[in-house]
Amino acid sequence: MDTKEVRLVIDIVENDVLKPGQNIYTRKVVRFSSLISQPLWWDDVVTESLLGKYTETKFRLFMEVTGVGDLTELSESERWSLARQFKYYLIKKEDEGNPVQDEDGSYMSVPVVG
């Protein structure tokens, strides 16, 4: 996987039409990367009750299994249902003798009840 990060630097310069204002607002830096960072919705509640500790490997697999990558607008019951779907997938893989390993080498698991 390519983990290269690319930066885009945008400088706003004064001209006849535009006066950018204070210097601190005239430069913006945007970073692009192929790495997936922890989404804002993967908060303490999700960690403790649904999906456990965030890892990129777990998040990618969760999206692959459930077809969902953003839980922001979902209800509590919808989140719970997706977490259970993911849990059942992990259990099935373990029952088949092919448990899913996480980034640290441990078998992947989730704390959701059900």
* Res 97 pLDDT > 80: yes
pTM over 0.85: no
Report d(CA 22, CA 62) in Å as an integer. Answer: 44
Half-sphere exposure in the Cβ direction for 109 (13 Å, CA): 6
Q: Is the pLDDT of residue 3 over 70?
A: no
pLDDT digits (tens, 9 = 90+) for 36-47: 889 999 999 999
Q: In 3-state terms, what secondary structure has residue 43?
A: coil
Average pLDDT, the chain: 92
Tell me which of 21-35, 40-54, 58-72, 97-111 is least confident.
Answer: 21-35
For range 95-99, the mean pLDDT: 97
